[in-house]
Structure 1
Amino acid sequence: QTDPDGATHQKIYDEQGRLIAEKDPLGAVTEYQYNESGLLTALIPPQDEPTYYSYLDGHVRKIRRGMAQWYYERNAQGDITRQTDPDGHITRYTYNPQGKITLIQHPDDSYHKLTWNSLGQLTGERLPDGNQRQYAYDVQGRKTTQQEPDGALTHYKWDAAGRLSQITLPGGKTRAWSYNAYGKVTAERDERGHITRYEYADHLHLVSRRINPDGSQLNYRYDNARLLLTGIENEHNEHYQLDYHPNGLLRQEIGFDGSKTAYAYDLNGHLLEKTEYPDTLSGDTPPLKTAYQRDSAGRLLVKTLPDGSEITYTYDSLGRLTEVDDGKWPLAYEYDLQDRLITEHQGWATLRYRYDALGQLSHCTLPDGNGLDYLYHPGGALKAINLNGQRLTGHRFEHGREIMRQQGSVLSEYHYDEQQRLKEHRVHPLDRNGEVSGHYHYRRSYQYDANSNLRLLTDSRKGQKSYAYDPLDRLTEVLGNANNVEHFAHDPAGNLLAQSYNGQGRSYGKIKGNRLLMQGDCHFDYDAYGNLLRERRGAGQRLVRHYRYDSQHRLIGITLPDGSDVAYRYDAFGRRIAKDMDGKTTQFLWQGDRLIAENIYQKGVKGWPLYRSYVYEPGTFKPMALLKGHGTTNEVYYYQLDHLGTPQELTDSGGKIVWSAYYRAYGNIVKFDINEISNPLRFQGQYYDEESGLHYNRHRYYNPNTGRYLTPDPIKLAGGLNSYQYVPNPTGWVDPLGLSSCPNAGKPSSGLENPEQNVHNNKSEISAPTAGSINWKGFSQGKLQPHYKKHVLDQHEFGKITQAEYLKQAKDFAKQEGKFNEVAIGNIIIKHDVLTGRVFVGHLKLREIRTFYKDDGRDSDALKSAIDFAKGL
C-alpha cells in the first residue's frame, strides 16, 4: 500500500492468509506467529520485547512480556472468571446466563455488582465503595433517567430520530439541542436560556459558522476534497490559516498574529522537524528549527534544539523511558513488572513509589527521606495519609464525595448541592480527644447560577462577594464588602480588556492578534514569536521591565525597573528547576507536573535556609499540606482551600491560622490578614514569584494583574483560539499546566467538537512519567473477535484489514501519546480521539482490549456513549 506522500507499507501473509510480517515505510518489521489453530502466539515488534500468548480451548490462558506474566481462568463460555496479575493479585468475575458480568471481586475484597434487565440493559450497580446507581430506559432502549448514590436524578429526553434533545439536571435546570436533517446540532440552549447556533458548509456537514449568544461569530473554511479545516476567522475578523501534507498531517499553520510554524514528518508520520518563523514585522530574525531523531518504533531518541543543544532519550527493552539527558540536569526512571513508575531520579534527588493490590499509589518516599503512606477506603477513596508512620490527614467519603477531612487539630466538613457542587465548607476545632469542640472556627458557603457559575460566596471571616457574568459566562463584576468592587470588560475574542478595583484602573486595552499592546499607562512589546519582551509604564514610560527567553520560548530571565535581575533554569521537560537572584538560588523538585519540594541555598551559607515539601490530594493539583524543614524534623501546615482548590488559609497542627489572604478575582492578592509563614501556591498549578509578581504555571508564566499569559500557548489550537487567555472565567475554571483550561465541575455536552480541535497533527512530545498514571501498553486481543466482525467486516469503519491488523491498530492506538479524552471507571479504561473518532475500551487489570471502533457522529456525546458501553462490559 502506497500513501499519498509516497510512503509504502508492505505486508506478508502465509498460505492461510494470516499476516505474518509487515514492514513500515522506514523498513522496520513487525512479525506475527500463530499456532496450528491459527491463534496469535507471538507479536514481535522491531525492537522491543515480544509479547507471547498461550491458549486453552481457544482462549488466552497466559500472556507473557518480559518478566511479567498474566494468568486467566475461564468458564465454559470463555468468559474470564479469575485473573492473576504479575504480582500475584487475583480478581474474580461472575456472569449471568446471558454472559453479562454481574460481580467483580477485587484483590482488596471490595466488589462491584451489576444488575441487568431481560433486554441486557444495565439497571443498577453497587459500586466498590458501597454506593448505588440506578438507570431507566424507554421502550427503544435509550436511557431516560440516571439516579446518583445521593438520590439526585438526571433525566434524558430524545427526539423521534433517537437524538438527545434535552437533559434535565438535578434541581430542574435544562440544557437542550436542536438538529438538522443530517443529525448535526444547529442550536444549543444552556441552563440560563442562552443559545449558541451552528451553521454548516454546503454538502460537507461541517461547522462553517458558530454564532455565540452575544451575537459574535466564528467562521470556518475547509478543503472540500479532504474535509480538512483550512481557515478560522475569529470574532475580530482575523484569520488563522492551515495547510496540509498529502497524508493529511499539518504542513504549516499561520496564527491570528501572523506567526507561522511548519512541520515535516518521516514516512511513518512522526514529526521530524518543526520550524517556527518570526512574524512579518520582525525583519531579519532567523527562524527557529527543532529536529527530532527517532528509532524504528517512532520513539524520540534525540531532540536538537534551535540553539544546537541536544536532549537524548533512552528506553529499556519494553519501550519504557529510562533516561533523559540534557547535559545539565539528568533524569532517570525505573519501573515494576506492571510498567508502573517506582523510582524517579532528578538531579541530586530521588522519589520512590509503591502500589497496593489495586494499583493505587500506596507509598511515596520524598527527596528528603520523609515517607508518605496512602490508605484507601474500599472503592479507592482516600482514607488517610500517614507521614513517617504518624497520621497526617484523615478522610471520610459519602456518595463518592469527601464529607470530612481531619488535618491536625481541625476537622473540615463539606456539604454539596444536588449537582455535586461544593455548597459549604466548615472548619471545626478538635479537643485533645479528637472530638469536635464547640462552634465552627469559620465557614464558607457557595451559591451558583443556572450555568454553574459561582453567584455568591459567603465567608464568615472575610465577608461576602457576589458575582455577575455576561451571556458567554465571562466574569463582569464582583461586589464585596466595604465597597470592594471589581469590574471587567472583554472583547468578543475573550481578551480581558479592562479591570478595575474600587473604581481605579478601569482603562480599555488595545489588542491585535490577541496580543495586549496597551492597557492604562502600560505598553507591551513582543518579540518575533509573540513572547512578551518589555513592559513600559510610568511618566515617559521610563519604568521598563525586560523579559528574556531561550530558543524554546521559556522565560529565562527578567530585568526589573530597579536594575535587579533574576534568572530561571529548566529541565528537559520544561519544568523549572532553579531561579537565581542576588546570590540566592531556589531549587525545585517535581513529581510529574506537580511541584513536590523546593530548597533555598546561598553562597557562603552552610545548609538550606529554607526547605519545603508539598503534599497534594492524590491525582490532583490541590495542595493538602506544607512540610517546612528538611527530613523528619519538619513543621506541618495544612491548606484550607476554596471551591477551586485555591489556598485560602494555612493552619498549623494545633489549628491556628498562620497564613490567610484576600484575593482579587484573577488571583492577585489584595492583602494578607495573617502572614506568619510564607506560602507561594496560588491557583491550581501556580507558584508565586515574589520578585516579579508573576505566577509560574508549569509551561508558562501568568500575570494576575492582566489575567493573561506572557507567551502564546505552546500547544496552539489544542489549547483554544485565544493563545494568551488564562481561562474563560476565573471563578469556575483552572489551568494547572498552563496549556488548556478545564472547568472545576463538568457540564453536560452534546458532544459537538470545535472544528479547530480536529486539526490532525502528529506533534506530540514526550511527557515525564508519573506515578499512578494509566498504563496504556501491553493490551491483548481479549474479546476483540466479534468487534472485528462488527466494525470491520460489517460496518467497514477501518477499510479492508485483517483481524491481526485490526488488533495492531487497537494496540498502537492504546499506547499512542497525544491529546485524548481518557477516562477510568474501575478497571475499565476508555480513550477517545476527537481528531479521528477512534474509541478504545480496555480492561486495565486483564490487559484486554474490549472494543475498538470509530464513532460515526451519530452519538450526541461519543465519549459518554463509550462510558455507558464500558459499564456494560
Structure 2
Amino acid sequence: MTYSYCEASDVAATDSTCPILGLPKSVDGARTDVNDITSFTYYPSDESSCVTSATACSHRKGDLWKVTNALGQVTEYLAYDGAGRVLSVKDANGVVTDYTYHPRGWLTASKVRGADDSSESDDRITTIDYWPTGLVKQVTQPDGAFARFTYDAAHRLTDIADNAGNTIHYTLDNAGNRSKEDTTDASGTLKRTLSRVYNQLGQLATQATAQGDPTDFGYDPNGNTKTVTDALGHATQNDYDPLNRLARTLQDVGGIAAETKFGYDALDNLTKVTDPKGLDTTYAYNGLGDLTKLISPDTSATTYTYDSAGNRATQTDARNIKTSYGYDALNRLTQVTYPTTSLNVSYIYDASQTPCASGETYGVGRLTRMQDGSGSTDYCYDRFGDLVRKVQTTNGKVFVVRYAYTKAGQLSRMTYPDGAVVDYVRNAQGQTTEVGVTAAGGSRQILLKQATYYPFGPVASWTYGNGRPMQRVLDQDYRPLAINDTRSDGLAVGFAFDPVGNLSALTAPGNTAPVVKLDYDPLGRLTAFKDGPTDTVIDGYTYDATGNRLSAKVNTTTQTYTYPTTSHRLSSVAGTARSYDAAGNTTAIGGTAVQYVYGANGRLTQVKRSGTVVANYAYNGRGEQVRRVGKTNVYTLYDESGHWLADYDNNGAVVQQAIWLDDLPVGVLAKTTLRYVQPDHLGTPRAVIDPVRDVVIWRWDLKGEAFGTTAPDQDPDKDGTAFVFDMRFPGQRYDALSGLNQNYFRDYEPGTGRYVQSDPIGLDGGISTYGYVAGASLMLSDASGLQAFVISYGPGMTGAAGAAAAYNSNNIENKYDLNSCGPKVTEENVSFLMNLFELVGPQSVFSIKGLPWMATNAAVGRAQQAVERREYSRVCKSPIPPTGDKCKDALANLQRLKQCLQLRDAFSKKWFNDQDAGHVIEVDNTRRAIKKLEDFIGRNCPAMIIN
C-alpha cells in the first residue's frame, strides 16, 4: 500500500482540492494488475455563508469533500456542522443520508432520503434519545418500533423495553456482573429467566437454567477456562500451552474421553488439529499468514495461491482440479473459472441491468448480475439498498421474483414468477401478525392471522385462515414445551428435556407420560429412540469418539458401519461398499448400483443407477441447485435467505411455491391451490393441510426414525390422491432420483445420518466433517449444509447443542452464551450507528457518549480488569481452522468476531463509560471488522449465507 499526502505544491495551486499540508491525498492498494487507487478531495475554502453565519456554514476549508474509489465511484460529503461532524452524505448511487446531533454532540437521528426531497414521508428516519447523563434512552426505528434502555445510578444497563411493554431486566452484582436476567411480557409475567454466579475474580462460575440446572466453569491461574461441567456431571477439560493458546480439549473426562489437540506456529497460526481418532489435519502458511496448503484425512491435499492483495488466486484440490479467481479493483470477486468452462461463474457489480425498472437502479456497490453454468440472475435495488427484483434465467426459462418492504426495511410483499402475491401484515413492533396469499388470477386468502410472539422471542401462536389454531408453547428457557393444533389430525406434540437440555421425550400435549423416549451419550449424540410405555428400543445408534456412526439398529435390522484407519470416509454399511474420489466425495454405493459424478466445482452433477444416467444437476453462482434434469426439467428458486421458494416444470409452470413466516414454512401453493404447512420446533414440515376439507393430506411423523429415513405418508386422509411434498429437515429437499436430501451446499443421506461429501468449511463445521448436526437431529439443524445451529431463543446451550459446539478452536466456550438472553442491543437496536463511524470519523465515536455498550461500574479494581481482559483477548485471538477459501474463511471469521464482540461488549459495559479511548477504539475496531466482513461476503461471496 502506498499513501500520498497534500504537498506544498498542492496547497499552492489555484482552487486546490488539497488545501492543507499533510491531508491524505490518495491510497494506492497492493494490486499491480489493476489501478486500485482511492483518492480524497477537500473543500478548497470556507463556504461563503461562513463569514456571516456559523450555523449556516456548510463546510470549511479542508473538510473532506469527496472520496473516489478505484472504480471512480464517488461518495460526497455535502455538509458539516460547526464541530466538524458530517451532516449530509451522498453515496455513489446519489442517495443522500442526513445526520443530526444533540447539542452535546451525540447522534440523534439518521435520515435516508426518499425520492421526494420536499417531504419526509418516504424517508427512513432512525432516532436516538438520551438520558441527561448521555446514556441512550431510546432508539426508534423508521416504522416507529423502539427499544428503551434504563440504567442504575452507576450508569449500568438494567432494563430493555420495547414499545409493546415487554421487558428484559438485568440484576447486577456489586461488580456489575449480570447475575440474573428476566424477560417479562407487558403484564409483568415472567417468560424467560437465567441466573449466574461469579467467583471473586469476576469469572463466571455457574450458569443455571430456569429449572435450576447448572453448568459450572473452572479456570486455571491465567484465567483460561479449564473445565466445563454440565448438570449431569459430564466434564470437558481444556489445556493451554505456555502462550495461553488452546492446546487440548478432552470431552467427557473419565468416560468417552474424546481428545482433540491443537498445534501452532510462532505466529500463532493454527498448524495442526488432531482429532479423537488420532488423525491430523495440517495447515501451512506463507509469510503473510495466508493458508497455502491444507492436508485433511478426508479431503487430502488442497493448495492455494494469492494475489498481491491477499485475495485467493487459485485453489487446487486433491483431484488436481485447479480453480482460479478474479477480482475487480475493489477486490470484489468477479470471476471463478474451472477447467470445465461451462461451469465458470462471473459476478457483475454496480451496473443496472436491463430488467430493472425505474426506481430499481441503485446498484452501485452491489451485485447486479451473476452468470454461471445454470444461466444468469439479475438483481435490482431500490434507493435504500433493498433487493426489489430478482430475475433468474435458467435454460431459457425466466423467473421473476419481486419484493416490497416497510419503512423499516422489513418484507411486506413478495410476488412470485406466476404472479402470485404473499403479503405480510406487521404490528407496531414489526412482527408479522397476518400472512395473506393471492394466487395468480385469484383473490386474497388469509393463510394465517392473529400471530402472537414471546417477549424478545419467537412466534407463540397463530390461527390459520380457516380457523385452525396453532400454539407453540415455550418454557422459561425458551425451549419448546408443546406444539399444539387442537383439531384432531393436526400436529400436536409435547417435549421434555433432560438436565443438560437434550430432548428426552415426546409426549402428548399437556401430558407428561412419554410416547417416545430419547437417550444420548455424554457428548449429546442420540443413542436410542425408545417406545415410551415399554422402554423398548425402536432405533439405536453407536458412535466412535469423533462422532462417526459405528452401528444402527432401525426397527429390527442392525447395520454395522466400517471405516479405514486413515480417514472418516465410510467404507461400507452392512457389507455394501462405498467409493470416494480424492477429495472425499462419495462416488459409488454398491459398485455400479448407485454412482455419483461431481463437477469441477465439487458439486454433485450426475447420478447413475446400474450405469444409466437418471439425473443431472445445475447450480448457480450462489451454490443453489436451480435445475434438475431427470425425465424432464425441474427448475428451482430460492429466496435471499436460502429458503426453498418454488419448483417449476419443464415449461416453466408452477409445481409448488412455498410461503414462509421468518424461518418457518407455513404454507404452500400447489399450482394455485393454497395448503397449510405445520412445522415442528426445528422448522421441519410435519403436516400439510387442505384448508377447505380441513384434513391433513401429507404427514411426516415426528416419531419416525430420527435421522429422516422414515418416508412421509402422502395420503393420510385415504382419498386415493397422493400429495407429494419434498421438504424434509431445515434446508433439505428429498430427491427421489438420487435418494438423497439436497441440503444447499451438500447432499444428505438419511439412511446413514451423514453427508456424502466432507464439509466444505472443513473443521470449522465440526470435528466430524461428514456427520449431520453432531448426531442430534431432533435438537439441531443445518439449513445450509455447513454447520449445525440450535433452534433456540434461550440463554445458552448444553447437552446435544453443546456437544455440537464443543469442538471449535475459535473458543471452547462458544457453546455457552456468556452474555445475555436478551436481544443483542449493540447489533440489533443500534447497529446502524456503527455503520456511521466510517462516515463521521473517529472523533464522533467519542462524542456518541453513554451508549449501552459503554455503561459500566468504574469502581472495581484494575487487577480484575486485567483478568477479564485476558479472557476476552484469548477468545478474540484464538485461531480458527482455515479452509483456504476466502469466502468460507470470511464467514467463519465473521462468526468468531461476533462472539468476540459479545465478550468485549460485556467487558465494556462492566468497566468503562467511554473514558478509556483505547478500549472504545478496540470495540469499534471489532465492529468495523464485522462490518467489513459482512460487506466482503455480500460483495464477493454471493454463495454465502450470513446467519
TM-score, normalised with respect to structure 2: 0.76
1:736 is aligned, of 783, 787, 791, to 783
Distance 1:361 1:305 in 2: 37
Q: CA deviation at 1:837?
A: 10
Say whether the 8 Å CA contact 1:567–1:580 is kept in structure 2.
yes
Distance 1:839 1:137 in 2: 16
Q: 1:340 maps to which residue? A: 386
Q: What are the superposed Cα offsets for residues 365-402 of structure 1, whole Å, 9 maximum, x if unpaired?
A: 11111111111122222111111243221212242332
Say whether the 8 Å CA contact 1:838–1:855 is kept in structure 2.
no
Amino acid paired to 2:246 = V
Distance 1:648 1:258, change over 3 A: closer
Say which SS state the counterpart of residue 683 (structure 1) adopts. coil
Identify, as 1 or 2, the structure richer in strand: 1
Q: 1:853 maps to which residue? A: 922
1:239 is aligned, of 268, 271, 280, to 280
1:397 has 2:453 as partner: yes
Amino acid paired to 1:82 = A
Say which SS state the counterpart of residue 455 (structure 1) adopts. strand
Q: 2:433 maps to which residue? A: 383
Amino acid paired to 2:73 = E
1:617 has 2:661 as partner: yes
Q: 1:866 maps to which residue? A: none
Q: 1:587 maps to which residue? A: 635
Distance 1:753 1:851, change over 3 A: farther
Say whether the 8 Å CA contact 2:126–2:141 is kept in structure 1.
yes
1:63 has 2:84 as partner: no
Distance 1:562 1:55 in 2: 71
1:208 has 2:239 as partner: no
Q: Describe how 1:558-637 pairs up with structure 2 within 5 A.
A: 558-561=607-610, 563=612, 565-582=614-631, 584-592=632-640, 593-601=642-650, 608=653, 611-618=655-662, 620=663, 622-629=664-671, 634-637=672-675
Q: CA deviation at 1:833?
A: 7.3
2:684 is aligned, of 628, 643, 646, to 646
Identify, as 1 or 2, the structure richer in helix: 2
Q: 2:315 maps to which residue? A: 274
Distance 1:711 1:242 in 2: 21
Amino acid paired to 1:44 = T
Distance 2:901 2:287 in 1: 17
| Higher mean C-alpha deviation, range 94-103 or range 693-702 | 94-103
Q: CA-atom RMSD, angstroms?
A: 3.5
Query: Which blocks of at least 5 consecutive residues in structure 1 are unaligned?
Result: 1-7, 279-286, 430-438, 760-773, 798-814, 824-829, 842-849, 864-873
Q: CA deviation at 1:517?
A: 0.4
Distance 2:652 2:476 in 1: 52
Distance 2:204 2:844 in 1: 28
Distance 1:25 1:488 in 2: 54
Amino acid paired to 1:267 = S
Distance 1:817 1:548, change over 3 A: closer
Distance 1:73 1:28, change over 3 A: same
Distance 1:112 1:852 in 2: 25
Say whether the 8 Å CA contact 1:424–1:444 is kept in structure 2.
yes
Q: CA deviation at 1:186?
A: 0.7
Q: 2:215 maps to which residue? A: 175
Q: CA deviation at 1:835?
A: 12
Say whether the 8 Å CA contact 2:741–2:747 is kept in structure 1.
yes
Q: 1:296 maps to which residue? A: 329
Say whether the 8 Å CA contact 1:207–1:755 is kept in structure 2.
no
1:496 is aligned, of 536, 540, 549, to 549
Q: 2:349 maps to which residue? A: 315
Distance 1:441 1:335, change over 3 A: closer
Q: 2:707 maps to which residue? A: 666
Q: 1:527 maps to which residue? A: 581
Q: 1:101 maps to which residue? A: 136
Distance 1:816 1:556, change over 3 A: closer
Say whether the 8 Å CA contact 1:19–1:32 is kept in structure 2.
yes
Say which SS state the counterpart of residue 557 (structure 2) adopts. coil
Distance 1:330 1:731, change over 3 A: same
Say whether the 8 Å CA contact 1:650–1:658 is kept in structure 2.
yes
Say which SS state the counterpart of residue 506 (structure 1) adopts. strand
Q: CA deviation at 1:184?
A: 0.9
Q: Describe how 1:793-804 pairs up with structure 2 within 5 A.
A: none
Identity %: 25
Distance 1:192 1:405 in 2: 36
Amino acid paired to 1:297 = L
Say whether the 8 Å CA contact 2:378–2:391 is kept in structure 1.
yes
Say which SS state the counterpart of residue 625 (structure 1) adopts. strand
Q: 1:826 maps to which residue? A: none
Distance 1:485 1:425, change over 3 A: same
Q: What are the superposed Cα offsets for residues 564-598 of structure 1, whole Å, 9 maximum, x if unpaired?
A: 6222222222211222223x221112213222110
Distance 2:105 2:65 in 1: 18
Say which SS state the counterpart of residue 82 (structure 1) adopts. strand
2:296 is aligned, of 255, 258, 269, to 255
Distance 2:229 2:778 in 1: 22
Distance 1:105 1:313, change over 3 A: closer
Q: 2:5 maps to which residue? A: 12
Q: Describe how 1:77-88 pairs up with structure 2 within 5 A.
A: 77-87=104-114, 88=123
Q: Describe how 1:688-727 pairs up with structure 2 within 5 A.
A: 688-727=734-773
Q: CA deviation at 1:674?
A: 3.4
Distance 1:147 1:37, change over 3 A: farther
Distance 1:345 1:781, change over 3 A: same
Q: 2:199 maps to which residue? A: 159
Q: CA deviation at 1:339?
A: 1.4
1:32 is aligned, of 16, 40, 47, to 40
Q: 2:939 maps to which residue? A: none
1:412 has 2:470 as partner: yes
Say which SS state the counterpart of residue 763 (structure 2) adopts. helix
Query: Which blocks of at least 5 consecutive residues in structure 2 are unaligned?
Result: 8-19, 44-59, 115-122, 352-363, 439-443, 717-721, 813-830, 854-864, 870-886, 908-918, 932-947
Say which SS state the counterpart of residue 724 (structure 1) adopts. coil
1:748 is aligned, of 761, 783, 796, to 796
Say whether the 8 Å CA contact 1:832–1:838 is kept in structure 2.
no
1:51 has 2:72 as partner: no
Say which SS state the counterpart of residue 81 (structure 1) adopts. strand
Q: What are the superposed Cα offsets for residues 327-352 of structure 1, whole Å, 9 maximum, x if unpaired?
A: 64111101111211111110100111
Q: CA deviation at 1:306?
A: 2.9
Q: 2:404 maps to which residue? A: 354
2:522 is aligned, of 467, 471, 478, to 471
Distance 2:920 2:280 in 1: 40
Distance 1:141 1:714, change over 3 A: same
Say whether the 8 Å CA contact 1:701–1:711 is kept in structure 2.
yes
TM-score, normalised with respect to structure 1: 0.82
Q: CA deviation at 1:43?
A: 2.7
Say which SS state the counterpart of residue 764 (structure 2) adopts. helix
Distance 2:66 2:905 in 1: 25
Q: CA deviation at 1:239?
A: 0.8
Alignment: residue pair count: 769
Distance 2:308 2:133 in 1: 47
Distance 1:217 1:563 in 2: 44
Q: CA deviation at 1:196?
A: 0.3
Amino acid paired to 1:718 = D
Distance 1:586 1:245 in 2: 45
